[in-house]
Structure 1
Amino acid sequence: MGDSPELSVCIVTYERPEFLRRCLGSLARGLAPETEIVVVDASAEDRRDIADEFDHPVVYVHAPQLAGWMTRSRNEALRHVHGAIVSFLDDDVVLRPGWERALLDAFADPAVAAVSGRTCNGLPGEEHYAKPIGRLLEDGTLTDGFASSPDAPQAVDHGIGANMSFRRSVLADLGGFRDDYPGTALREDTDIFLRIRALGGRAVFAPDAAVDHLPAPHVRGARFDTRYKLYGRRNHMVLLARYDGIRSPMLRRWVRVQFRAIGRAGGLGARLKRLAVTVVGVGWGWFAALRSASWHPLPPRRDDALGRELRATLGAPADASA
């Protein structure tokens, strides 16, 4: 391409063609003509015809070999972006008016390395959140609040994968996403924000960079089913072990929080089910952490072959691959 765009928007999708069509329609209406759109589709069927329905050009990448690995699809998208700012949106969101302008305004501060936008779920009262938004607490738990609507941008420790954006230069420095969070890829979004934090980068929550999240069904299983909860505990343990080390007091506190929560489940059957999910999820996470973390915090920068490749690709002049 010629002049580099200021913004590249990436959509990762898998077997949800109608949601992809709705999302792309929203982008075509809501983005500036020069903004780049990249779609990585891990579906079995090539659906570039959907991308071709819109006047706004779309870089469509058909990658069925990446099915089941969201973060690998995100890294594939990074091979095709040209913007100084790189955004990732889920395929089941639509933009609210002003999303792009609010996002770029947040990045006008050169100290900002990452932005999490507001992700609205249509739930009563979600615009109010009593806790600090997007924080990693001392007990290893995470606060949410990404549907809330504060009066101004807020500093955060982590963001939400459905609506998150980064400076291209920071993604280059990191060597892309860690792409070994399996299942529903829970915590892969938190991971990259915490790696940015470890580099000294600043992340903010920009409430005016808002999308409506209109959830699509999972291709396998359901949102928040037992499988989802098991992956959540497994991936959270790996996340904390990588960020703070396997011997981290934070990790031990988080495990205690999980077991204490068993008693708050309503009824004996619910407590037994939560006990089973907690024991299996924490045990699975412990063995996974032993393989993929260390006694001490891991360096935030990837230094494997893919990390070096993405660092070179993203660090090159933005139009060098045209």
Structure 2
Amino acid sequence: MSSVANDALTVVIPTLGREQVLIEVVAQVVAASGRPDAIIVIDQSPAHEPETERRLAEWHSVGRIVWERLTEASIPKAMNRGLKLATTPLVLFLDDDVRLHAGLVAAHRRAHAEFPEAWAVVGQVIQPWQTPTDLPRPPRRTGLREDRDFPFHSVRPAEVGNVMAGNLSVKRDRALRVGGFDERFYGAAYRFETDFARRLMTAGGTIRFAPDASIDHLRVPSGGTRDTGSHLTSADPKHGFGDYYYALRHGRGSGEKAAYCSGRAFREVRTKFHLARPWWIPVKLLGEARAFSAARKAVREAPLLMNCSASPADPSPAASVRGKA
């Protein structure tokens, strides 16, 4: 049996409710220099426009991609599915609304080769209002706020304590060792990647920020987490649950947890939107109270993690479309 190269890499693209932009992302990855060894699209969309369906099916049929369809929308679950389907030592997760900079795949491979102690590499993420900027590394806080506000549009490499899941590569065996991504995070799954980073570091890993592995995040207004609706006018706990759950799961003592959670509730209504429309403040605070209550209940249970086996997944899952990897 032939061995797999240590720098063999699979790109995993979780997607929900995206059409033309998804096709453009997949086309960029297919045509990328230093092409990945496999591409897996984890599709949580109930249905697609005919042209999107046709293109994905065509790529799938000729073995350019594996197109896996899930019946439940959950970003941690989709990323775990991709992690399990992959058979390469490295797995690179990309958002479904990004523009790849030249050399992205090669830069992730190079970072893992240069820093073998790193269990994960997070690349540069340029938001629509940003440009790559030479920024000094912010002072590293401790506890729940460690690197929470790290500037991922910086051009300076660093060791970090947080990640952005839209441009994140991992050593597959290490990610599986910590159980992948916690599927108790739901809705917008806020802070699920920070939770993953904390568990990775607790297990002994380090995380590198590699600015030469760069993407533009397009922030397409429909699909993805935008399908969960606006958090500004909602009493639904799904918008705040993840942040409270993260704090209650990882906070060091009741003091840090209480300070973080109360600070979040205050910040969520201290916005320009709410100052101009104060009638939404009670609605928002109700959502925060419901989110906190749901998080308190959830932390009484163990995190919902993967089986820590590094073996490939069952090749015949339900509700899937499969092709050659």
Which TM-score band applies after superposition, normalised by the shorter structure?
0.7 to 0.9
User: Does the CA-based 8 Å contact 1:171-1:311 persist in structure 2?
Assistant: no
TM-score (norm 1): 0.80
User: Does the CA-based 8 Å contact 1:41-1:61 persist in structure 2?
Assistant: yes
Given candidates 90, 99, 103, the residue that maps to 1:98 is 103
RMSD (Å) for aligned C-alpha atoms: 3.4
Query: Given residue 15 of structure 2, which amino acid in structure 1 is its aligned partner?
Result: T
Query: Given residue 307 of structure 1, which amino acid in structure 2 is its aligned partner?
Result: M
Q: Which residue of 2 aligns with 1:258?
A: 264
User: Does the CA-based 8 Å contact 1:242-1:294 persist in structure 2?
Assistant: no
Given candidates 305, 310, 313, the residue that maps to 2:311 is 313
Structure 1 residue 312 displacement after superposition: 4.6
Give a deviation string over 1:14-73, Cα, whole Å, max 9, x none.
22121111001110121434521111111223766323349872111122x12x211111
Q: Which residue of 2 aligns with 1:12?
A: 14
User: Does the CA-based 8 Å contact 2:76-2:181 persist in structure 1?
Assistant: yes
Q: Which residue of 1 aligns with 2:65?
A: 58
Q: Which residue of 2 aligns with 1:209?
A: 213
Q: Which residue of 2 aligns with 1:166?
A: 170
Given candidates 172, 178, 181, the residue that maps to 1:177 is 181
Q: Which residue of 2 aligns with 1:318?
A: none
Summarize the Cα distance change of 1:202–1:123 in structure 2 as closer, same or farther, 3 Å threshold. Answer: same
Q: Which residue of 1 aligns with 2:85?
A: 80
Q: Which whole-Å CA distance do the structure 2 matches of 1:16 and 1:260 have between them?
A: 33
Q: Which whole-Å CA distance do the structure 1 matches of 2:235 and 2:112 have between them?
A: 33
Q: Which residue of 2 aligns with 1:127?
A: 133
Structure 1 residue 144 displacement after superposition: 3.5
Q: Which has the higher contact order (CA 8 A, sep 6+)?
A: 2
Give a deviation string over 1:196-248, Cα, whole Å, max 9, x none.
01112101111000011112223335566444996443211101211236x43
Query: Given residue 257 of structure 2, which amino acid in structure 1 is its aligned partner?
Result: L
Q: Which consecutive unaligned segments of at least 5 residues does structure 1 have?
A: 316-320
Structure 1 residue 99 displacement after superposition: 1.0
User: Does the CA-based 8 Å contact 1:118-1:209 persist in structure 2?
Assistant: yes
Q: Which whole-Å CA distance do the structure 2 matches of 1:12 and 1:260 have between them?
A: 32
Q: Stretches of 4+ moved more than 6 A in 1?
A: none
Given candidates 44, 47, 53, the residue that maps to 2:46 is 44
Structure 1 residue 155 displacement after superposition: 1.1
Where 1:165 maps in the other structure, the secondary structure is: strand
User: Does the CA-based 8 Å contact 1:157-1:203 persist in structure 2?
Assistant: yes
Structure 1 residue 122 displacement after superposition: 3.4
User: Does the CA-based 8 Å contact 1:217-1:223 persist in structure 2?
Assistant: no
Alignment of 1:240-279 (within 5 A): 240-244=247-251, 247-261=253-267, 265-266=271-272, 268-270=275-277, 273-274=280-281, 276-278=283-285
Q: Which consecutive unaligned segments of at least 5 residues does structure 2 have?
A: 314-323
User: Does the CA-based 8 Å contact 2:240-2:291 persist in structure 1?
Assistant: yes
Structure 1 residue 2 displacement after superposition: 6.0
User: Does the CA-based 8 Å contact 1:158-1:190 persist in structure 2?
Assistant: yes
Where 1:20 maps in the other structure, the secondary structure is: helix
Where 1:209 maps in the other structure, the secondary structure is: strand
Q: Which whole-Å CA distance do the structure 2 matches of 1:42 and 1:260 have between them?
A: 33
Q: Which whole-Å CA distance do the structure 2 matches of 1:206 and 1:286 have between them?
A: 35
User: Does the CA-based 8 Å contact 1:230-1:277 persist in structure 2?
Assistant: no
Query: Given residue 114 of structure 1, which amino acid in structure 2 is its aligned partner?
Result: A
Asked whether 1:292 is paired with 2:298, we answer yes
Number of residues paired by the alignment? Answer: 303
Asked whether 1:21 is paired with 2:27, we answer no
Summarize the Cα distance change of 1:194–1:262 in structure 2 as closer, same or farther, 3 Å threshold. Answer: closer
Q: Which residue of 1 aligns with 2:194?
A: 190
Summarize the Cα distance change of 1:185–1:147 in structure 2 as closer, same or farther, 3 Å threshold. Answer: same
Summarize the Cα distance change of 1:222–1:184 in structure 2 as closer, same or farther, 3 Å threshold. Answer: same
Q: Which residue of 1 aligns with 2:320?
A: none
TM-score (norm 2): 0.79
Asked whether 1:143 is paired with 2:149, we answer yes
User: Structure 1 vs Structure 2: percent identity of aligned residues?
Assistant: 23
